Structure 1
Amino acid sequence: MTTTGLGSLPGEDIREWIKVVLEAVDTPFLPELPARPYGDMVSRTVAVLTELAVDLQPAGWRLTGGTDPRASLDQRRARSLVQEDLDVLEELADGYTGPFKIQLTGPWTLATTVELPRGDKVLADHGARRDLAEALAYGVNEHAAEVRRRVPGADLIVQLDEPGLPAVLAGAVPTASGWSKHRSVDGPGAVDLLTRVIEAAAPAHTVVHCCAARPPIEVFTKAEAEGIAVDLALLTEPAWEQIAIAVEAGKTLYAGVVPTTGTIPNQEQAADPLIRKWRQLGLDPELLKRVVITPACGLAGAPSPADARTRLDLLRKTADVVAEAAEE
């Protein structure tokens, strides 16, 4: 059994958090600290879009229509923050060998967040969202290569965050006016753009993260993601059935079992929903050994860094309980 976090953490001290994750979890990750300017997941992804110029407006990030990376001061600041974080990582992870994870926003969530030069979301323009996905694919490839250069011993995992994809598939993303919704995207279309980014991440391993009641597991598996990260407390019965199919097909489940806020459970309480559901579905206990134990979602909303650290520390204890259940 292994453990990891899903990316975001509270506070602004990147040096301290990198020290923590190198010790607290089996698969360390590059922390996202949204409390810092340009520290949120979309800004960090915009930072790797070297093929597209994007600027920051009151409503959020917007394509400028140009290709000059110097076109946006905010984009350069976002890039600078990522580079500073990688500098700290390179220093503190000197000599590290083993799995290491980075996180970026997936193409569909990015398309629902970034605006076109004329307004409205990139999602509204078929060509623009394809161009954005291709720029993201290139950026993911370059970013992953840089992380490998700075931490040569890393067996890299790229996590793509897709919280917006269920709304894209359901046709539930509002237009700029707010009076209507963007047309839904069909499954093959969703698979296509996601596949482009996942293929660009190679040779890194890939996991797609989506905290939703019915994450589109089938889209993730058809796009050849190796892992699926979910919040177990939110899942509906149909979602569990899709997860069972994916796990039996060799996909890795990143099981979000430790809540991100509220009362902190003990390890037995955290592990119980996963173990119980595994048995109800009749899944092979041996497959349970391959599950990665994670928080339910990102920990940026934790009331304090100390609280978030406690939740990370709980992951290994929970993994031990799950491992024991797999042997029964």
Structure 2
Amino acid sequence: MTVTAAEHAAMLRALEIADRGPRGVNPQVGAVILSPSGDVLAEGWHRGAGTPHAEVDALSRLSPAQRRGATAVVTLEPCNHTGRTGPCAVALVEAGVARVVYALDDPGDHSGGGADRLRAAGVQVVAGEQADAARALIAGWLAVQRLGRPHVTVKWAQSLDGRAAAADGSSQWITGPEARADVHRRRAEADAIVVGTGTVLVDDPALTARDGDALLPHQPIPVVIGARDTPADAALRRHPHEPLFYPQHDLHAVLEDLRGSGVQRVFVEGGPTLASAFLAAGLADDVLAYLAPVLLGGPRLALTDIGVATIAEARRLVVDEWLPLGPDLLAIARVEAPDPVLTNAGGSAARTETTRNEGGS
């Protein structure tokens, strides 16, 4: 079955209003209800864990007579799972909706299957309308469902000879202003920015995302890993978000806790020790390596031990882009294949249940 022009327009609107919802434990979803003649009757979106899903939010604005025979246009397959709210597929059937058009299948083992439930009840179902746009909208949430943890980007800046700092520890600035501005833009795309206590004590970073001196609209939550205390007057304590402190070195446990808080994208910017720890644990999905045309020499390498004893164990990356930034060069790369450490160390997706209703929505 093909979609009508009215349904196509309604999906574009549903994607637009879905973005009003918060990025967190649950996906951002939008819904538009059309009359049998294609007129817009109502719209709704998911406002976060514990609130009505988009379809139910839209249906709640209609009378029983308006619901019967209507078409629901939704950015994600109506769920088939009971959490704090009942299955949206059942709500649509009980409302008398005659047709459902949705963009993406729900990947959850328990929340998926709504389309089959609708079809079994005699509802016409069309899947895949604007799937790419819907996938881009909730890419972070989909990554969490696939990985069982937040998506992790590890970033570092280095000299051409692989050093993160000069022999005396000074590192400001290896790269130029264009590269530093790029880092801030990417910080603003993350939900959390992670450093170690060593970075806090040596550099006293603010961990904000800025455009010059101005804060960007979205700020990542500052996260500090390590047993040493953070000074009371540290710059990160003046961050717009309350910092999170983890006095431990269990990265799987940290990511699990962040996942439960609704964090989807983690930006690791904590120096060689922390960057190496994430890589060694198999917890890095993307790498951002900023290369500056300077030579420093000395012992302060950009990475330390990551568990590679022989060339056969090298961590292979796929470089998606080489991006010139003024005099510097950014390598945007991803890990070529899942690391066996991730599968065996308790951080795999298999050990956690991933559903659309996770978090009690």
Larger Rg: 2
> What TM-score do the two structures reach when normalised by structure 1?
0.29
> What TM-score do the two structures reach when normalised by structure 2?
0.27
